[in-house]
Amino acid sequence: MGALGRTRSEYLAELEENGLCLRYVPFGRRTRALCLAAVRSDGMALQYVPAALRDLPMCLDAVESAGMALEYVPDGLKERELCFDAVHSDGMALQFVPEALRDEGLCAEAVENEPRALRHVPERLRALFAGS
């Protein structure tokens, strides 16, 4: 992958199989459709999606399959539902949740899925999870 002159359908077929191959698609050829196929194959492909194409539906697809993709979600899109989906997928995604959204419910979901996420729970809430 990565050779100039490839067709859209060839890129699409490869991205549906391995979304991380998006990094090899020339930047100018990364359309919304190709990026969406990549993210649906592997949420971590969001890191290779041009910023202008990262919208809420695409980011939701990304974090549902790979919670750690939350790192690449624009700050303006990090709302509670999206962040909850991310920590439900991978508790360690809590580290990328804005502090203002780290409430008891969201932190509980993160720690339940990944006990190591406790290190990213705000100090004011840690006592609630002392037995985790």
Q: Which of 52, 98, 47 is nearest to 68 (CA)?
A: 47
Cα(125)–Cα(118) distance, integer angstroms: 10
Could you tell me the pTM of the whole model? Answer: 0.90
Q: What is the DSSP letter of 21?
A: G
Per-residue model confidence (pLDDT) at position 120: 96
Give the model's confidence band at 61: pLDDT under 50 very low, under 70 low, under 90 confident, else very high. very high
Q: How much of the chain is in helix, strand and coil states, percent to nearest 5?
A: 75, 0, 25
The confidence band for 88, taking pLDDT boundaries of 50, 70 and 90, is very high
Q: Give the Cα separation of 92 and 67 in Å (integer).
A: 8
Query: In the structure, what pLDDT confidence band is assigned to residue 132 with cuts at 50, 70 and 90?
Result: low
* End-to-end CA gap in the chain: 45
